[in-house]
Structure 1
Amino acid sequence: MDLRRAVALTLAVSAPVAGCAAADAVPDPVPQVAVLRLGTPVREPIWSKEAHAVVALAEDEPRIAKITPKATSGRLTARTTLSGPLPGLGENLAPSATGEEVVYAPRPGADRVAVVDAGTLRAKTFLRAGRAPSFVAVDSGADVLLALSADGATVTGVDVRPAPGEEPAVVTRTGVRLGPAGEVDGTARGRLVEFHTVGPDRVSHYKGGAGEVRKTADIAFRAETATGDLTKVSRLYAAEKGTDRLVAIDVAPGGDELLMVARSRLGAPVLYLGVDENRLYAATGDRLVVLETNSYEGFPEGRFTVVKSVDFRAPVKDAEVREAPLSGMAVGPDRVYLTLRGVPYALGVAKPSL
């Protein structure tokens, strides 16, 4: 399961590489779609709210990249900093589960997950998180790191806020049998461990206390990408593989069934999904579609409400940048950042006002 050239570009020849993008404040005259020049192509970006930056995997080498935007005088500059080599990185990164300025980076060959300082990009420590942890997510309600094994067989949950003097402990080791293409998505609220798994043909929901996590329900669905709701943690948004259909999947009353509670067709397959507290962001090959999450109200008519649809390709002048496929999405406080495969650029798309 798997951003472009700005009006002005600023390059630094020292280790951090600077670039430009658009400012996010309403009075700024900068375009809605802005282009950031990066130090290297990147993939699988996340937003680190503690570092106020996009953090991503470098595409061509085993390093982590931090892209720090800064608004000055009506424009947004961005500094790209690369970590030292981190051999054997897994499929993705996960943000902090506890509010510390860290990100989590799986290293399946070492049977460890690196806890990386989001400021310095240096590994602070390494967690034992099951055999060959390859894909990571966080349950920030329960302060748990969730690590999916490379074969997709097991989700291991590690308490990342242990008592003083104690080592991080494994609080769940749950068999999920997803296969190598599976993913896991953790929740943002609640004291119990809770997560969804996304396999090649099925979405499942798991919940329970330490040592008691069990599958509560599942539903047949072939997902291309998925992400959870930050407020209604039982809900998962998923794009159907090979179609233009976007759905919301939620736990039914009683907790023993998953239901599709909203459906919409967006006109093109959705490649990446992201959320904030109010909106769902769906990226197709050339558009960013912004939708209401309706976390509290639900979907009485069973359909999403589209807030805005932005063509992020049309404003880009450079052909190489304009045509590069997407390699990921990160949702920041003012912009959605789209990274591009094979080229050292990213797109920053301004969020619509609430």
Structure 2
Amino acid sequence: MSFRRTVAMSAAAAALAAGCSAADAVPDSAPQVAVVRLDTPVREPIWSKEAGAVIALAEAKPQVVKFSTTVSSGRLTTRTVLSDPFPGGLGENLAPSATGKSVVYAPLPETDRVAVLDTGTLRLKGSLRAGEAPSFVTVDSGADVLLALSQDGSTVTGVDVQPDPGEDPAVVTRNHVRLGPTGEVDGPARGRLIEFHTVGPDLVSHYKGAVDAVEKTADITFRAETATGDLVKVSRLYAAEKGTDRLVAIDEAPGGDKLLVVAQSHLGQPVLHLGVDENRLYAATADRLVVLETNSYEGFPSGEFTVVKSIDYRAALKDPQLKEAPVSGVAVGPERVYLTLRGVPYALSVAEPGL
């Protein structure tokens, strides 16, 4: 296990690099961008509530990376933890705890298991058998289920994340989904039934049911670049249309036998990554972070999203390397959104607009 604690930059240096003041000193009324120096480039970040930090996959090595920032005496300090390398390699993403425990799940396709890592130390606590070659993972927190998509995109396997001591978890669902190697699966944050969406090259599908009785309820033709579920309304999925600037909300029709586009907006640039919290949807394009209301309870009577704010996060950057680096993922914390950058050991910390 390697551990490093570094002062990323002083407040003055942060202002020079990012064109703004220190991250935690930014007023809600004027969101600003801070540059976070990391030990290695990372991708596919998630926010861990238990750790109060961002956890991501390292780009160059099969490692998991955790970073958090604090501001003290005018200094922006980054604390970074790296896991031991995984010799067989890691899958495509990470998933947070399904039960509120201080763990994160990392798929290990070569071993047919999913690693369970402690969010504090990133040390291995154990592993779960979750189908063949699990590569993409998500959690159904309401049902305490880990959902794992196989590397070839053919099968979603759901397992109980609270097995008896010394026992492998029980498989509670296994669905043949035929998504291909670029497919994804998204589970909800609440609800007692097992429920999830699958996202294939040209089809979004919804699955739901009790243990051993999960079935596809509906689907809709849609070519998604990226997608994420609503944290309150479990039947809703947000998705960006591939090759266009269109962002949509997909939900069940009355009766639950169809999926419909219930809201849409054209954002001017293709959406590359999405993040969400209980109130807002965060859409990252090549140059902007667009903040939209989720309207999880009210719905979308007009059929359109309400845009809260559009933030040009590139405008604050002075370093040419940072201005050109593509975004490799979005993680939404309680006060700030973190954009990781491909190919460079940096992330951007963007203040969220006030509610």
TM-score range, shorter chain: over 0.9
* Aligned partner letter, 2:111: A
Correspondence 1:115-264 to 2 at 5 A: 115-162=116-163, 167-264=168-265
Would the aligned equivalents of 2:31 and 2:353 in 1 still touch at CA under 8 Å? no
Deviation of 1:68 (Å): 1.3
Alignment partners' CA distance in 2, 1:222 and 1:143:
29
Which digits, 9 at most, give the CA deviation of each residue in 1:120-155, with x for residues without a partner? Answer: 111110100000000000001111100000010100
Query: What residue in structure 2 maps to residue 55 of structure 1?
Result: 55
Alignment partners' CA distance in 2, 1:216 and 1:52:
36
Correspondence 1:244-323 to 2 at 5 A: 244-323=245-324
Deviation of 1:71 (Å): 3.4
Query: What residue in structure 2 maps to residue 65 of structure 1?
Result: 65
TM-score, scaled relative to structure 2: 0.93
* Aligned partner letter, 1:24: D
Deviation of 1:23 (Å): 2.9
Alignment partners' CA distance in 2, 1:73 and 1:146:
43
Would the aligned equivalents of 2:186 and 2:197 in 1 still touch at CA under 8 Å? yes
Count of aligned residue pairs for this structure pair: 342
Query: Which residues of structure 1 form unaligned runs of 5+?
Result: 1-12
Would the aligned equivalents of 2:7 and 2:75 in 1 still touch at CA under 8 Å? no
Deviation of 1:170 (Å): 1.0
Query: What residue in structure 2 maps to residue 15 of structure 1?
Result: 4
Deviation of 1:168 (Å): 1.9
Residues 142 and 71 (structure 1), Cα distance of their counterparts in 2 relative to 1, 3 Å cut: farther
Query: What residue in structure 2 maps to residue 7 of structure 1?
Result: none
* Aligned partner letter, 2:269: A
For residue 190 of structure 2, give the secondary structure of its aligned residue in structure 1.
coil
Alignment partners' CA distance in 1, 2:121 and 2:147:
23
For residue 290 of structure 1, give the secondary structure of its aligned residue in structure 2.
strand
Alignment partners' CA distance in 2, 1:293 and 1:74:
35
Superposition RMSD on alpha carbons, in Å? 1.9
Alignment partners' CA distance in 1, 2:262 and 2:46:
27
For residue 109 of structure 1, give the secondary structure of its aligned residue in structure 2.
helix
Alignment partners' CA distance in 2, 1:92 and 1:289:
23
Alignment partners' CA distance in 1, 2:306 and 2:30:
27
Query: What residue in structure 2 maps to residue 44 of structure 1?
Result: 44
Alignment partners' CA distance in 2, 1:135 and 1:150:
7
* Aligned partner letter, 1:52: G
Deviation of 1:78 (Å): 1.8
* Aligned partner letter, 1:244: D
* Aligned partner letter, 2:137: V
Deviation of 1:162 (Å): 3.2
For residue 169 of structure 2, give the secondary structure of its aligned residue in structure 1.
coil
Residues 17 and 146 (structure 1), Cα distance of their counterparts in 2 relative to 1, 3 Å cut: farther
Would the aligned equivalents of 1:268 and 1:284 in 2 still touch at CA under 8 Å? yes
Correspondence 1:89-108 to 2 at 5 A: 89-108=90-109
Alignment partners' CA distance in 2, 1:237 and 1:74:
38
Query: Which residues of structure 2 form unaligned runs of 5+?
Result: 15-21
Would the aligned equivalents of 1:41 and 1:60 in 2 still touch at CA under 8 Å? yes
Which digits, 9 at most, give the CA deviation of each residue in 1:67-87, with x for residues without a partner? Answer: 012233465422111111113
Would the aligned equivalents of 2:6 and 2:77 in 1 still touch at CA under 8 Å? no
Alignment partners' CA distance in 2, 1:28 and 1:198:
34
Would the aligned equivalents of 2:128 and 2:168 in 1 still touch at CA under 8 Å? no
Alignment partners' CA distance in 2, 1:18 and 1:29:
28
Alignment partners' CA distance in 1, 2:6 and 2:34:
17
Residues 74 and 31 (structure 1), Cα distance of their counterparts in 2 relative to 1, 3 Å cut: farther
Alignment partners' CA distance in 1, 2:243 and 2:219:
21
Alignment partners' CA distance in 1, 2:213 and 2:301:
34
Alignment partners' CA distance in 2, 1:165 and 1:135:
25
Alignment partners' CA distance in 2, 1:244 and 1:238:
11
For residue 36 of structure 2, give the secondary structure of its aligned residue in structure 1.
strand
